[in-house]
Amino acid sequence: MSEHPDCALIRRGYEAFGKGDMDTLGTLMTADVIHHMPGSSPLAGHHKGREAVLDLYRRLGEETNGTFRVRLERVLVDGRGHAMAFHMAQGDRGDRGIEIHEGLFFTIVGGKITDIDQCTQDIDESDAFWS
């Protein structure tokens, strides 16, 4: 059985993110993509537009001195332009570390990511780490 195109798109995105390949990652998104990051940390909020989303991803690396990693565990699709990805996020920031399960809910239109809603296993822990 072949992989659904939406599933393959999300896997390509995770692969590019893992390599720090923002050019490739940017090609997978629409110009008006939005990433909704939960919580109340300085990184939380609605990051609107491809450059703002890519800047968020760059900042994840900068804030953790390059230690931030995600390990993709599962991708689910509905065949109607939605995908859910589950991963383990890990990183170190100052004297604090984090290892936390997170999920991303993607909306996909025309083979490109248009919207990303992020959820986390423990929002208080995530806020404490990024604040």
Q: What is the pLDDT of residues 21-66, one digit of tens each?
A: 999 999 999 999 999 999 999 999 999 999 999 999 999 999 999 9
Beta strands in the chain (DSSP E): 29-37, 45-48, 69-77, 82-93, 96-109, 112-120
Q: Where are the domains of the chain?
A: 5-130
Q: What is the pLDDT of residues 73-105, one digit of tens each?
A: 999 999 999 999 999 999 999 999 999 999 999
Q: Which of 64, 54, 59, 65 is nearest to 16 (CA)?
A: 54
Q: Look up the pTM and report it.
A: 0.95
> What CATH architecture is 5-130?
Roll (3.10)
